[in-house]
Amino acid sequence: MERIIVGLWSALVFFVLTCSVSWAQATAQISGTVRDQTGAVLPLVNVTATQTETGVARTTLTNETGSYVLSNLAVGPYRLEAALMGFRTFVQSGIVLQVNASTEINVVLQVGQVAEQVEVQADAALVETRTSSVGQVIENQRILELPLNGRNVTDLITLAGAAVQTGTATGRLFSGTQISVGGGVPTGTDYSLDGANHINFLTGVGLDLPFPDATQEFKVETGGLAANRGSSSAVAAVTKSGTNDFHGDLFEFLRNDLFNARQYFSPTKSSLKRNQYGGTVGGPIRKNKLFFFGGYQGTKLRSDPANAEAFVPTAQMLAGDWTTFTSRACNPGGQITLRGPFVGNQINPALYSKVASYITNKILASLPVQPNACGLITYPGAITKEDRWQFVSKVDYQRSDRHSIFGRFLATSVYFPNGLALTKNLLRSSFAGTDALSTSYALGDTYLIGAHTVQAFRLSVNRIRNSQIGNSFFSLCDAGATFFFCGNAPTWISQSVIAGGFIFGSNTGGADREHNPYWNPFSAQVNDDVTTIKGAHQLSFGGGALYGRMIEKARFADGGQLTFTGAVTGMGMADFLTGRLSTLFQGQPNKHQANQLNLNAYVTDTWKLKPRLTANLGLRWDPYLPQRIPDIVSGTPGAVYNFNHDRFIRGIYSTVFKNAPAGFYYPGDPGFPGRSGINDQYWHFTPRVGFAWDVKGDGKTSVRASYSYGYVFMTGIWREDTSGSNPWGGRTTVTQPGGGLDAPWRDNGGSPFPYVVDKNAPFTPRGLFLTQKPDMKTPNVYSWNLTIQQQIGSNWLASASYIGTRTLHVWGQYPVNPAVFLGFDPCMLDGVQYVTCSVPANTDARRLLSLERPRDGANIGHLAEFDDGGVQKYNGMLLSLQRRVAKGVTFSGNYTWSHCQGNYSDINQNGPPANETYTKPGDRNFDNGNCFSDRRQIFNATAVAQSPKFSNHTMQMMASGWTVSGIYRVSSGAPVNIVIGTDVALTGTNLQRPNQISPNPYKDRSGRPSTQWVDPAAFVPPASGTYGNVGWNSLLGPGQWSFDMALSRTFNVGERQRIEIRAEAFNVTNSFIPGCPQAFINPFLPRIMQFALKYLF
């Protein structure tokens, strides 16, 4: 009910605003030169473009050079007229403007009477002769007719070429899909909907686009973007609008496991069931003046997933007999012998931990089936029960021939329950639910100041309310643990791992709303843009401001994350039952808020140097004003701090937090930069330069090139983990605690939790810290391209592009406090004698800061610092061939050959954890290799073909109304990073890599089922205290391909109504398509059928 009230109230407020305030939308433009038959330019020619579906017209006059520009035109079909006394009126119809198109139509007037008309029926030329960027439009026919798995329009972005999906949407962040365009980072793409900002401030990627029936079209561009965009790539989408005729549809798309194929490794067919239903309607409120459009799509997804496997304690093990569990029959790697003091693989049950016994009994009682003799249990996964809906509304108002207004509202909701809501199996307690609502508003105005000047003003507001639903079961205190505080986590244990056994627990709090974590980003952006014509120059200038805010509450580890590795007994399960805890990771609930203001201003000049040569010049101002972290209460700063090594050595302490180790300083301490920890950077000016050459002057061959420079600002969530560190979250790791699982904090002075965060707040020992330098530089992107385009006939376009990008100052993380490898001889560290100086157990004692100042260093564990020295380089060739819609057929194909290299970074920029740093301290380039987005070769082909309209009645009944469409995509494999999973170098860093001892690291690259892609025998761990020779992301996984098809037929029902019956198949050939090598089987989906029925009017 709350969601319905929010939606209706938002729509009401929105409608009132759109009727009284003036704003603008995503547009295109028509420009050109008017001449007479002798070639002389004609000033003061009246040029009018009329949108034929709405009757809305725009008029301008040619200037003294005969030039005209009609900018900020809504997309759609147009008729162009040019009239001047003494000349026949020129009329061209059939022009279709696409989003962000800069169409050039040059007019020749013939001597005669104005009443006489010279009519031309032709679309505009396909070749771009005015702008310098590389781009492709996915038009409405392909959006509607192509087989789209999940009906998610965003999935079509990668069909534009030079685009790679690097990550999928996550329920935790309601993040949208991460896509790298032209070798850039995923957050370096500017997403807009109807000309307004459409980016999730939290994650920096695009929000969900409207469903296919509500999306008009979108364009993907990279390289050479005008200075009104600060990024190196852009995705601009347009929502459908109402017209002078009522139009719309009702639809339902169905999937059922009865028609789907069986996944290769699954013993049964999929149980997937999905219903997607809804409709759209649009039309005039007042013809030629006021129009509306609205749409709704609901989605219900139900599925019984494939079985999962785990090992749990058996009755024999609980009785103390481990002989079966350790036998060769239960361990493919061979017989296992438990370490002393246990003899004969027997453990006295009296030695079992009471907490472990409690947990075991609870888990065994919750299982739907019993384990076999080895403890293996094969159980049904959690039932998928997901509900989504999306609502969109839009109003367009042509207030006068000089003034147009639009407004748009978009809401998207997703809900699915937690793991224990549909099953009592505690092994599903790690699966959180999601309850999220995203709302997006856009308001805009276009106003003609004069015959040659247009002003566009727009406002966007994006807001997400996203809660995760955890699982409630029992706490460690319920299980009998002492020296442990459970008040913050009354009914759960955080996610815990028993190596070689099972995983359980919740990192997202309990099931009640009070204990649910949430991530709620908000952003509001305003822009004002002016375009004017001065002689041969089309000048544009403007600016804008974006305010972003994120508020979150995290419950990542307050229940206590437990890890049992087998370090003591040799088996993780034995460590668990005997309470030999390897690590306890715990913190307290913490909130985090970040506010940021982005400002920009720009000027561009599209300069017609010669009739066939256009220069594109621009300059943009993009200052970097880092995130401000407000105080949690008056006088107590929020989670922002810096670390200075010199202050640490000199023993300088904070005056804000009395118990902070030396070297840390906070807002309020002398020398700390404001509330951000990073200095403001105002001197950010980025130039753009490019040209477009109409080689023959006929608009059918062009050569274009550009060079641009821009910035990539960090996402709202980037510094999320700072709030989990001391003193706010106090997250800390206790290694092999003497009290074990039953009393984990016994030998560490008792549990430090809970505590109040104020100036006297305690700092937990060996806490995790994540800091930054005051002079951090903003990532910036240099991009350049060269493109040749050739129109073939009336409807075909061939193009070849070279695209290059270089991203500097990519943020990664540098380990400030690694452990120092001190060899294997005996040594004394802080008064403690060690027989072997460098072993995992004394990692903290060997940390750099502990060696330099043991007293303060003892309170600092992992300390990472944001590093701005990373580099990412991309070079690519993009070949494309496309046919625009003609005679019912459209085709688009492209081939990308590229290579992306760079340093390790958090590629999706969702805020890396504090302990994920460069592998080798002091050597950033040790982690240099292929980018996560590197796909050496990509080929995309899409086609839509409609059968002709036959005049013969029999042929019409049999063959008319059919539509067939398809998507074929092939790409090289994704990079694979080989890691050993342990700290062999003894420096406390993660993601260490092995040595490669064979020249060929691959075993079977056929991609057949049940084969090994990577040869494990080609790799061995390096010697202790050293790093392996395998490069970062140096291997490539198997190539991917997909082939999807759709077949539909439309039946006319009366003059203006139709019924469409549709069938779609994804993975048509039901081929086995392997995923990237991992420790588990993950082939792509089998053939899935989808059927649909549509009513169109």
What CATH number is given to the structural domain containing 87?
A: 2.60.40.1120
- pLDDT of amino acid 264: 61
Contacts of 89 (CB under 8 A, 6+ apart): 81, 82, 83, 114, 115, 116, 117, 118
Distances (CA, A) of 850 to 147, 183, 859, 861, 921: 60, 41, 9, 9, 16
Instruction: Identify whether residues 40 and 77 lie together within a single domain.
Output: yes
Instruction: Determine the residue type at 549.
Output: R
238 and 194 Cβ atoms separated by less than 8 Å: yes
Instruction: Identify whether residues 101 and 10 lie together within a single domain.
Output: yes
Containing H/E element for 647? helix 645-650
| CATH at residue 138 | 2.170.130.10
- pLDDT of amino acid 491: 84
423 and 501 Cβ atoms separated by less than 8 Å: no
* Burial zone of 944 (CB within 10 Å; 0-12 exposed, 13-18 middle, 19+ buried): buried
- pLDDT of amino acid 516: 81
Instruction: Identify whether residues 234 and 315 lie together within a single domain.
Output: no
Give the residue from 379, 398, 420 where a domain finishes: 379
Give the residue from 190, 215, 244 where a domain finishes: 244
- pLDDT of amino acid 853: 93
Query: Which of 994, 1046, 1040, 988 has the alpha carbon at shortest distance from 1015?
Result: 994
For residue 85, tell me if it sits in a domain. Answer: yes
Exposure string of 264-296, with b = 16+ CB inside 10 Å and e = fewer, is: beeeeebbbbbebbbbbbbebeeeebbbbbbbb
Parent domain of 89: 2-121
- Token representation of residue 609: 């140097």
Give the residue from 379, 414, 430 where a domain finishes: 379
* Burial zone of 1 (CB within 10 Å; 0-12 exposed, 13-18 middle, 19+ buried): exposed
Instruction: Identify whether residues 24 and 114 lie together within a single domain.
Output: yes
End-to-end CA distance of the chain: 31
655 and 641 Cβ atoms separated by less than 8 Å: no
- pLDDT of amino acid 7: 42
Residue 629 has φ and ψ, to the nearest 5°, of: -110, 110
What is the DSSP code string of 596-630? EEEEEEEEEEEEEEETTEEEEEEEEE--B-PPB--
Between CA 1049 and CA 1054, with CA 1050 as vertex, the angle to 5 degrees is: 160
Distances (CA, A) of 418 to 209, 255, 380, 438, 503: 26, 24, 15, 20, 16
Maximum separation of any 2 CA atoms in the chain, in Å: 110
For residue 845, tell me if it sits in a domain. Answer: no
For residue 74, tell me if it sits in a domain. Answer: yes
Exposure string of 816-849, with b = 16+ CB inside 10 Å and e = fewer, is: bbbbbebeeeebebeeeebeebbeeebbbbbbbb
Instruction: Identify whether residues 187 and 225 lie together within a single domain.
Output: yes
296 and 265 Cβ atoms separated by less than 8 Å: no
Instruction: Identify whether residues 152 and 117 lie together within a single domain.
Output: no
200 and 412 Cβ atoms separated by less than 8 Å: no
Give pLDDT < 50 ranges for the chain: 1-25, 907-908, 1079-1083
Q: What is the rounded distance in angstroms from the CA atom of residue 377 to the CA atom of residue 371?
A: 5
Query: Which of 408, 411, 338 has the alpha carbon at shortest distance from 580?
Result: 338
- Token representation of residue 844: 């903290």
What is the DSSP code string of 762-825? ---TTEEEEE--TTPPPPEEEEEEEEEEEEETTTEEEEEEEEEEEEEEEEEEEESSPBPP--SS
3-class SS of residue 686: strand
For residue 162, tell me if it sits in a domain. Answer: yes
Handedness of CA 834, 839, 840, 846 (dihedral sign): positive
Residue 945 has φ and ψ, to the nearest 5°, of: -135, 130
3-class SS of residue 1058: strand
Q: What is the rounded distance in angstroms from the CA atom of residue 96 to the CA atom of residue 49?
A: 11
- pLDDT of amino acid 14: 36
**Total domains in the fold of the chain:** 3
For residue 1003, tell me if it sits in a domain. Answer: no
Instruction: Identify whether residues 175 and 97 lie together within a single domain.
Output: no
- pLDDT of amino acid 559: 84
Instruction: Identify whether residues 112 and 188 lie together within a single domain.
Output: no
Instruction: Identify whether residues 109 and 142 lie together within a single domain.
Output: no
Instruction: Identify whether residues 95 and 152 lie together within a single domain.
Output: no
Length of the chain: 1097
- Token representation of residue 1030: 């395998």
Instruction: Identify whether residues 373 and 352 lie together within a single domain.
Output: yes
544 pairs with which residues across the strands?
527, 600
For residue 984, tell me if it sits in a domain. Answer: no
Q: What is the rounded distance in angstroms from the CA atom of residue 722 to the CA atom of residue 728?
A: 9
Query: Which of 1086, 1076, 785 has the alpha carbon at shortest distance from 935?
Result: 1076
pTM above 0.75, yes or no: yes
Query: Which of 172, 21, 190 has the alpha carbon at shortest distance from 100?
Result: 190
Q: What is the rounded distance in angstroms from the CA atom of residue 292 to the CA atom of residue 286?
A: 10
> What is the four-CA torsion angle of 516, 517, 519, 520, rounded to 10 degrees?
50
Peptide bond into 765 cis (omega under 30): no
For residue 166, tell me if it sits in a domain. Answer: yes
Instruction: Identify whether residues 144 and 238 lie together within a single domain.
Output: yes
For residue 58, tell me if it sits in a domain. Answer: yes
Q: What is the rounded distance in angstroms from the CA atom of residue 912 to the CA atom of residue 907?
A: 10
- Token representation of residue 453: 């000047």
Containing H/E element for 569? none
Distances (CA, A) of 318 to 310, 325, 346, 350, 566: 17, 11, 11, 10, 17
- Checking DSSP bridges between strand 453-469 and strand 67-73, what pairing results, if any? unpaired
839 and 833 Cβ atoms separated by less than 8 Å: no
Peptide bond into 267 cis (omega under 30): no
* Burial zone of 450 (CB within 10 Å; 0-12 exposed, 13-18 middle, 19+ buried): exposed
